[in-house]
Amino acid sequence: MIREFKQLSRKEVDTNVIFKYCKDQVELPDGRVEEYIACQHKGASAVVPVLPDGRILMVRQYRYAIGRITLEIPAGGRDGVNEPFEAAAKRELEEEAGYTTDSPLEHLITIATAIAYCNEMIEVYVARDLKKTRQHLDPDEFIEIEAFDVKDLVDMICDGRIQDSKTIASIMSYYYSKRNK
């Protein structure tokens, strides 16, 4: 039977705007004590923005960490642990895509991004009844918006053109939930 590990101590090693890096002393189920590295994250939100014709708005941007341009759903971190996930999703929709909605967002899926070393959770929503506003990009963001048919996005996932995990999970979840209605 698998049992939970017991955290004995935590030492904060470094903190930045995205993560808090910690070294934990952990007691394993067999009594041994090991050191674990854990990244603490405030959580993030993402949104599948659906236009009236059914196409999905996607953001195209350069991602420095992997050295290439990606195609993703709009997403971003919460401004703090007290910001509601849905509010963060609406904020990211307008900031990155330049759209807003007065309709409630529909919760789609929860994603644990890197469970081996980080507690980041992304709450993903579907946004409908979109209204065009304008982008409010951060100074280091350079984003282009494109609309795609969901089937074309599924094809791009299957042939490797889309590799972002939150986008893959979200688009596939949306596609299959749409098909089963």
Are 52 and 130 in the same domain? Answer: yes
DSSP 68-133: EEEEE--EEE-SSTTS-HHHHHHHHIIIIISEEESSPPEEEEEEES-TTTB--EEEEEEE-SEEE-
Which domain covers residue 112, as residue numbers?
44-179
Whether the CB-CB separation of 109 and 172 falls below 8 Å is answered with no
Give 74: exposed, middle or buried? Use CB within 10 Å, 0-12, 13-18, 19+.
buried
- Tell me which residue of 165, 151, 140 sits closest to 64, measured CA to CA: 140
Are 16 and 96 in the same domain? Answer: no
For position 148, what pLDDT does the model report?
Answer: 98
Residue type, 79: D
Task: Say if 109 falls within a structural domain.
Answer: yes
Residue whose entry in the numeric block shows the structure tokens 């609309």: 147
Are 36 and 90 in the same domain? Answer: no
Task: Say if 12 falls within a structural domain.
Answer: yes
Q: Give the count of domains, the chain.
A: 2
Are 35 and 124 in the same domain? Answer: no
pTM, full prediction? 0.91
Are 55 and 103 in the same domain? Answer: yes
Are 35 and 111 in the same domain? Answer: no
Are 15 and 92 in the same domain? Answer: no
* Segments in the chain below pLDDT 70: 179-181
Task: Say if 146 falls within a structural domain.
Answer: yes
Task: Say if 142 falls within a structural domain.
Answer: yes
Task: Say if 1 falls within a structural domain.
Answer: no
Are 17 and 103 in the same domain? Answer: no
CA distance 174 to 170: 6
CA distance 123 to 89: 8
Are 64 and 23 in the same domain? Answer: no
Alpha carbon 32 to its chain's center = 35
Identify the CATH number of the domain in which residue 119 sits. Answer: 3.90.79.10
Are 23 and 53 in the same domain? Answer: no
For position 174, what pLDDT does the model report?
Answer: 97
Are 30 and 52 in the same domain? Answer: no
Q: What tens digit of pLDDT does each residue of 126-177 get?
A: 999 999 999 888 888 889 999 999 999 999 999 999 999 999 999 999 999 8
CA distance 133 to 51: 14
Are 154 and 80 in the same domain? Answer: yes
